Amino acid sequence: MRLDQAGRALSLLGVLPALAVAGWLLAGLPLLLAGRFAPLPAILLGLAVAALLCWAVVRRPADTGVVAGRAHLAGVVAVAVGSGVFNAIMHSEQLIVRRDPATYAQYAAWIAGHGSLPIPSRVEAFGGPDTWLKFESVGFYQVDGSVAPQFMPGPPMLFALGDWLGAPFAIPAVLGALAVLTVAGLTARLAGGRWAVLAALAFAVSMPVLYTSRTTFSEIPSLILLLGGLALVHDALARARPGWPESLTAGLVLGLAVLVRIDGLRDVLPALAFAGLLVAMRRHAGPRAAAGPPLLLGLLAGGGLGLLAAYVLARPYLSYLSGSVRPLLLICAGVLVLVLVCLPAAPLLARLRPPAWVPAVGAGLVVLIMAGFYARPWFQTVTRVPTNGEDARTATFIADTQRANGLPVDGTRLYFEDSLHWVAWYIGLPAVVLATFAAAVLVRGLLRDGKPFAWLLPLAVIGWTTVTTLARPEITPDHPWAARRLVPIVIPGLIVLAVWGLARIRDRYPRRWVAVLGVLLVLVPPVVTSIGTAFTPIERGEAAAVRGLCARLPGDASVLIVERVTAERFSQVVRGMCGLPAAQVVRVDGDLAPEPEVKRLIDRVRAAGRTPVVLAADREQALPYGPSVQVVGLVTRQDERSLVSAPNGTWTLRVNVWMVLP
């Protein structure tokens, strides 16, 4: 295989994952909105839409500038396949709803089995509406007599494929392997094909990537769309004259990130500004400015579909996040207005030249920002005083975690000041330094003479998302949980920058030991951090525990859950995976529902012609309603909850459920 053939193959492998994911989402969303999300139509339509997107991109091959040998191509494929196989073997089984992965898994299981939303509460199975019945639980909202799952529908539509294929725990590992190809493809375009293997390997061994590639998280699909979309924009601009199909497709893929995570609005904001810049400068930026209108249209279409899905299918979630979503929407609208305002002034703007000192100041500002983030723990302690129930629960959780870690107890602490140190844990301080050096050099070049132009949009997306994420990660700060916030852009973006910086150093000092030392500095730190948890799967046995629970429940049962933790964990499990109506009995004080109200509801269930079942966390809680039997007795491993250092192990998790047939 010649260098140009291997380079084209590597380029194509870098965008195929994004096109496949986008095709599946574009096909699945209308079916889900229509209540017809089923295997045959979804697979046939998904293949057709993905093929159409691929045709739009490959019908006019672009000169991506990627030069790679057969060994580079084989290395990238080997890393991706190895990553997928390893994470599939080490997959977790998060079905009992404790945190987001199980919420996504239950969401996927429901739409895979029923093809529609919302989820019926089946209140008639409890004798009709009653103020003591509560149908919501962690990750699921009670809305107008039904239950609406939290989060955007994009990831569950992807994970549902695993349920249909009988391999529900395999899809995250497959997506993780596709993410490796995506990172390698973008690296090949920006740093050169020979460096794609290093970027792929550094990305694949990073603990947050291992963590999110083993279970149902939204971050990996988001990464595929965002970085794959950047590669597609690069290819569109690499053509002598960008065409509408490829530019529109690139914008659409980027915009669909909103369908996967509402945070995608923030991540694609630089792309919106970039498209607006091309539109405003279309008479002065050469042939590549032709990509502006279709890129902008694609972004608006993809983002619009995401917002439509959020409004129709996840409105309670959108309302919960309104404090952050509304400002983002206003910023997006402001960017569009700015584009319109700048259109008449484009000729004047094209003649403007920055003063000679601006490039150096821009480069210095990059270094100062990163240095400030690194020094942040020395002059700031980020706290949040609880003002609502959600904040209060988070504060209690943080305080409990501090006790477990042997730290001073202060539930108001958020540890956000350590955010850049988190990155250094997971990719290594040398990679952070290399990425900072690379960003400074690139900013200086772009401000001086606009070169290398191919880096303008990727650098804007990586820089914008990295700074905003590090400033306010907005996540419960225990690790490895908080590490997921770094996965879509921060970790892969800094790795691509670090590899580009290493390539530049290697070009200047063409000695073998320089390259070897650089590779070791990029690879060894993430491997050392990951080794403590890489070979320990978590939450194994939950699938068998759920099957056992469902087998013990009568076929005509109406399940009343009288204890808080059991209700939060198992309400949707019983409803979605056992196929039985479930509700928790409202609690006034403490973790248990009032006994008289439970007995009254038991009588209502009998009067409705169904078999009442009571679930609780232990035998004593269930005894007032009759002889009890343990139906779940799971002992497994869970994530460590580390606050001030990288996690290096796992903790024991025990889940017990007792059942009464009153």
| Half-sphere exposure at residue 120, Cβ-oriented, CA atoms within 13 angstroms | 11
pLDDT of residue 301: 96
pLDDT surpasses 80 at 288: no
Tokens at 169, concatenated: 């725990």
pLDDT of residue 68: 82
pLDDT surpasses 80 at 572: yes
Tokens at 464, concatenated: 């914008």
pLDDT surpasses 80 at 353: no
168 backbone dihedrals φ, ψ, rounded to 5°: -65, -20
User: With contact defined as beta carbons under 8 Å apart, do 113 and 575 qualify?
Assistant: no
pLDDT confidence of 333, banded at 50, 70, 90? confident
The 10s digit of each residue's pLDDT in 186-239 is: 999 999 999 999 999 999 999 999 999 999 999 999 999 999 999 999 999 988
Residue 399 and residue 404: Cα distance in Å, rounded? Answer: 9
pLDDT surpasses 60 at 1: no
pLDDT of residue 285: 59
Residue 584 and residue 136: Cα distance in Å, rounded? Answer: 8
Higher pLDDT, 428 or 331: 428
- Give the DSSP letter of residue 12: H
pLDDT of residue 559: 97
pLDDT of residue 327: 80
pLDDT of residue 6: 86
**DSSP E strands, 343-484:** none
Residue 336 and residue 339: Cα distance in Å, rounded? Answer: 5
Residue 282 and residue 414: Cα distance in Å, rounded? Answer: 46
- Give the DSSP letter of residue 623: G
Neighbours of 642 (CB within 10 A): 20
Q: What is the pTM of this model?
A: 0.96
Distance (Å) of CA 193 to CA 11, 54, 330? 9, 22, 40
User: With contact defined as beta carbons under 8 Å apart, do 67 and 3 qualify?
Assistant: yes
pLDDT of residue 346: 63
Mean pLDDT of 372-388: 92
The residue written with tokens 């502006």 in the block is 292
pLDDT surpasses 60 at 582: yes
Mean pLDDT of 378-388: 90
127-131, 337-341, 442-446, 595-599: least confidently modelled range: 337-341
270-279, 341-350, 517-526: least confidently modelled range: 341-350
pLDDT of residue 390: 79
The 10s digit of each residue's pLDDT in 16-44 is: 999 999 999 999 999 999 999 999 999 99
pLDDT of residue 76: 96
pLDDT surpasses 60 at 2: no
Q: What three-state secondary structure class fits 148?
A: strand
| Chain mean pLDDT for the chain | 92
User: With contact defined as beta carbons under 8 Å apart, do 37 and 15 qualify?
Assistant: no
The 10s digit of each residue's pLDDT in 603-653 is: 999 999 999 999 999 999 999 999 999 999 999 999 999 999 999 999 999
User: With contact defined as beta carbons under 8 Å apart, do 603 and 614 qualify?
Assistant: no
Residue 276 and residue 429: Cα distance in Å, rounded? Answer: 36
Segments in 509-641 forming alpha helices (H): 512-530, 542-552, 564-576, 595-607, 619-622
User: With contact defined as beta carbons under 8 Å apart, do 267 and 257 qualify?
Assistant: yes
pLDDT of residue 344: 67
Mean pLDDT of 375-381: 95
The 10s digit of each residue's pLDDT in 391-421 is: 888 899 999 999 999 999 999 999 999 999 9
